[in-house]
Structure 1
């Protein structure tokens, strides 16, 4: 079949041609936007799930929904060991610009931008070297005495209160989207929770929408005990069979092609409904199929090439980030994984498999958590953040 017309898109964070199986989350977010617009109390939102389930894609779709409503939006991707202040400043700057301002409202907007500039310039601090100082690109003077104390919690509460007030005066809202939220540092997480709590109490039209790995709720709870009531958590999982079929069939039919039922059976067996795998296998199966409809034989021919591409780009690139000691830990997890429920294994089982004491393996486990390769499902238990990672490690020795 014509590769130029291939509709499938196995890219990191790239929106697939058919966003199947996410109607519930999109509808619920529309309700949130409407409630906030009407001054009703509403919680911020956190999406959690393994890698490859489409959290980043869904985050982008939610942002698009906010933009269509005329909201100001900003998005950032958190990074480990990096202060949130600079990234958040850029995201909020974009959101304020999207709110717009003309005439009498310009002075108020300029004041908020001045507060934002003062907040942003605290990133470097007065003792930083000149070459390290950062300018946020805000063309108004910095306002002093507001959101510039240097205490991120105090500053963020003041800043978001001002931004939320500006949005309320405009009769609109602001949404800040944070991807990889589990990588936000402890102090910054605490500040985010405190700020979200304050704006919720004041009824301001500003929400935070985060996305991260399954242990993100535990990260937030460790920061502020009230975080469980502050956010609405949505677990993003693999697609069920019906949604996976739609993700394959709808784009194909837009190109006057189709899949037969046996091919769809084979695809679900191979991908288990994980959205990234659906796109990866779908792309290769389209290219190898001589004609429509795509058959189960086409899927079988495509499988080795799809698996080879995943081994390099999806699994292998992550495995290469681990040190030899960390790789030993990962392989041990894979070896005992079958005994765990839903891919979760006990740290004691890993240690027993390696003939080591659990305490001696703590540095490797903690380093793997920081690298986002595993997560702690609960005390004494560990799991891969990447679906089918254990199967990949067992297949590749």
Structure 2
């Protein structure tokens, strides 16, 4: 059944009808933009999948626009984990965003290292010129362009530029030989920020993101504020369901809402998925625990197929076997306990875990300890087993 007016919105980065439990992060970012007028600000948003990081970035866009900060947003992936590809993406974002403020007139070839005989504008090919023809370290080239961009941004009436970068955990120094994209970013932006240029980095990703930054440059600890984005409290989870329902003609009993909060453990994606599915598939104005219990097997089947199975099926048979063993060991899995339970060679287990990290199913929480990147994945694995 397709219920028109369903207020819930499960999906990737889709703004919910009510952004529950993120008031402190929103207020903090608003205040940080005020502070950034006088003191450099940078932010890391860290958390597992389905927790609402992308939604927060979208909310930050609204705040940037309101406070007259120019902004760009991009989702990263493994393909951009090379210095030149990363620089290309970064400059593409900046140039595309600033074309409307006559930036091309400012980017004369002498500014970026060419002889004074060249005075023509370099609009469309500025990126290739910076990367291919200007001699010197990539960080020097990037700093030169950032300085010139900044002049145009201020003259156009903006306070500065905020880079809202998602899935940034994919970038890592040294993953490929002689390749240091994070060092390039941190060195260049720390230098221009020290000069008073108002650039603001907001980097979002899985928990390894901040350790990757610190590994690249230890001073990243002093450059960034870190916000760990977790599941919602019971109170906020209840509001995430109750407040949207108040604007619809659907009623959930208090008992049902409490059950959904408990079943979802306060993870934002599931707090949208569960009520959305119930409203779409139960043709009643009032829905209670009885209807939920009857519908629950189909709901979980849909959730497994749409959210979990695609990622799980990327794992090989031996990797899946390790995932099943991990599901029995709790939210944080010790390598020693997993090895004992799986009864396999230490080096072989380490190879499997590295592969599972690369496939985005787990991450290294700390030395010798691992966690799942997906919320409630252990419940899915137990159901599937």
Q: Same fold (TM over 0.5)?
A: yes
In 1, distance between residues paired with 2:141 and 2:376?
42
The structural deviation recorded for 1:183 is 0.2
Query: Which residue does the alignment assign to 2:170?
Result: 183
* Structure 1 position 210 matched with structure 2 position 203: yes
Deviation at residue 330 of structure 1 after TM alignment? 1.6
Cα distance in 2 for residues equivalent to 1:32 and 1:53: 22
1:391 aligned partner: 379
Against the structure 1 CA distance between its residues 114 and 318, is the aligned structure 2 distance closer, same or farther, given a 3 Å change threshold? farther
CA contact (8 A) 2:169 2:205 kept: yes
Shift of 1:295: 1.7
Query: d(CA) in 2 for partners of 1:354 and 1:262?
Result: 40
Indicate the larger mover: 285-294 or 307-316.
285-294
**Structure 1 gap ranges (5+):** 119-136, 338-342
Q: What secondary structure sits across from 1:175 in the alignment?
A: strand
Cα–Cα, structure 1 residues 348 and 243, in superposed 2: closer, same or farther, change >3 Å? same
Does 2:354 match 1:361? no
What's the counterpart of residue 379 of structure 1?
A: 367
Instruction: Compute the displacement of 1:367 (Å).
Output: 1.7
Q: Does 1:201 align with 2:194?
A: yes
Q: Give 3-state SS (helix, strand or coil) of 1:242's partner.
A: helix
> Which deviates more, 70-79 or 227-236?
70-79
Answer yes or no: is the 8 Å Cα contact 1:10–1:276 preserved in 2. Answer: yes
SS of 1:281 mapped into structure 2: helix
Mapped contact 1:153–1:194 kept (Cα < 8 A): yes
Structure 2: gaps spanning 5 or more residues:
114-121, 174-179
- Report Cα offsets for 1:153-178 as digits up to 9, x if no partner: 33333333333343234442111111
Q: Tell me how far apart the structure 2 counterparts of residues 142 and 78 of structure 1 sit (CA, whole Å).
A: 18
SS at match of 2:250: coil
Aligned mates of 1:85, 1:145 — CA distance in 2: 9
Q: What's the Cα RMSD here?
A: 2.6
> What is the correspondence of 1:1-397 to structure 2 with a 5 Å cutoff?
3-36=3-36, 39-82=37-80, 83-97=85-99, 100-101=100-101, 106=102, 109-112=104-107, 138-139=123-124, 148-149=134-135, 151-172=137-158, 173-186=160-173, 187-337=180-330, 343-397=331-385
**Using the alignment, how far apart are the partners of 2:39 and 2:313 within structure 1?**
46
CA gap 1:326/1:112 in 2 versus in 1, 3 angstroms: farther
Q: Does structure 2 retain, via aligned residues, the 8 Å contact 1:346–1:382?
A: yes
Deviation at 1:148, TM superposition (A): 4.0
Q: TM (normalized to structure 2)?
A: 0.87
Q: Structure 2: how far apart are the matches of 1:56 and 1:68?
A: 19
CA distance in 2 between partners of 1:116 and 1:260 (Å): 66
Three-state SS of the structure 2 residue aligned to 1:286 is helix
Instruction: After TM superposition, give the deviation of residue 109 of structure 1 in Å.
Output: 4.8
State the Cα distance separating 1:355 from its structure 2 match. 1.1
Alignment-derived partner of residue 177 in structure 2: none
In 1, the alpha carbon distance for the partners of 2:69 and 2:163 equals 10
Could you state the TM-score of these two structures normalised by the residue count of structure 1?
A: 0.84
Task: Tell me the SS of whatever aligns to 1:336.
Answer: coil
Q: Deviations over 1:94-150 (max 9, x none)?
A: 3313xx43xxxx4x55324979999xxxxxxxxxxxxxxxxxx94476796799447
- Name the counterpart of 1:340: none
